[in-house]
Amino acid sequence: MHPDDTPGAAAGSAGRVAEWLRAASAVTALTGAGISTDSGIPDFRGPQGVWTKDPQAAALSTIDTYLSDPEVRRRAWRSRRDHPAWAAEPNTGHRALADLERAGRLRAVITQNIDELHQRAGSDPARVIEVHGTMRWAQCLTCGIRTPMPEVLSRVDAGEEDPACLSCGGIQKSATISFGQALDPDVFGAAVHAARECDVFLAIGSSLTVDPAAGLCLEALNHGARLVVINAEPTPYDEVADAVLREPIGEVLPLLVRGAVTPGPP
């Protein structure tokens, strides 16, 4: 926390945040499902979230249930095939972060999302840290082999309800982190490093209720960064944030980036 700032702001000034971004030599962003809702991908815990509307849907993302219940796997494969991300396009929020990177200020995007929309918006894949993996690959839980997801989904379309690994016959799932699975230590280590080595940490579109990803906010604060929360709903980190912005992400993030990379007010 910086001595000239008031923590726990109920709202923040976009102009002030733009000034922080303009002065920063390194910015790290943590993005959650909220940044992709404008692309037509529903979030999980919001008022219209997937798990809010269908609490049983969370079982599809619980590893023990997935492994033990063939019906859960069959439902999961149908859900993967029909996922709105296949038709989604990057939105203004994704493109704003790519613009901030091109301006030389964005160090990394740590994303909880699995849709790869940051890369498709123009972010350097080497700077995108996918702590929860990607839906665009399938992985065998026995031998570890990865297969492009469209290849596996074509088998679902052909009538295989629970397509097994073609290499060893094991159970496959998307190459994502389910509840009950450990994060990849190398990937999360890179996320911690990016949080610790920035001047401004932007937490965008995340409920900040899922650890250890949410704890990256404290990693950034404890190493001297300003924390900016951009989210429609309150989060557990609002009280320690340097600024909290409630405006729609697709509107306020481009505004902040323009203010950061061009002279004058945003």
**The predicted structure's pLDDT at residue 98:** 98
Quickly state the pLDDT bin for 2 (edges 50, 70, 90).
Answer: very low
In the chain, % of residues over pLDDT 90: 83
Whether the CB-CB separation of 21 and 100 falls below 8 Å is answered with yes
With a cut of 90, say whether residue 8 has pLDDT above it: no
56 occurs within a structural domain: yes
Rounded to an integer, what distance in angstroms lies between the CA atom of residue 200 and that of residue 243?
Answer: 11
Mapping DSSP to helix (H, G, I), strand (E, B) and coil, where does residue 232 land? coil
Respond yes or no: is residue 132 known to be catalytic.
yes
Q: What is the DSSP letter of 73?
A: H
215 occurs within a structural domain: no
145 occurs within a structural domain: yes
153 occurs within a structural domain: yes
* Per annotation, catalytic residue among 2, 94, 118, 132: 132
243 occurs within a structural domain: no
Output 5 or 208, whichever has higher pLDDT.
Answer: 208
pLDDT in tens, 183-221: 999 999 999 999 999 999 999 999 999 889 999 999 999
Rounded to an integer, what distance in angstroms lies between the CA atom of residue 206 and that of residue 37?
Answer: 11
Q: What is the mean pLDDT of residues 112-137?
A: 97
**The predicted structure's pLDDT at residue 13:** 86
Quickly state the pLDDT bin for 240 (edges 50, 70, 90).
Answer: very high
Count the domains in the chain.
1
3 occurs within a structural domain: no
The CATH number of whichever domain residue 155 belongs to comes to: 3.30.1600.10
139 occurs within a structural domain: yes
Output 177 or 51, whichever has higher pLDDT.
Answer: 177
With a cut of 70, say whether residue 7 has pLDDT above it: no
Q: Where are the alpha helices (DSSP H) in 114-178?
A: 117-121, 149-157
149 occurs within a structural domain: yes
Write out the residue range of the structural domain in which residue 154 sits. Answer: 52-82+135-176
With a cut of 70, say whether residue 48 has pLDDT above it: no
**The predicted structure's pLDDT at residue 261:** 87
Does the pTM surpass 0.85? The reply is yes
pLDDT in tens, 136-151: 999 999 999 999 999 9
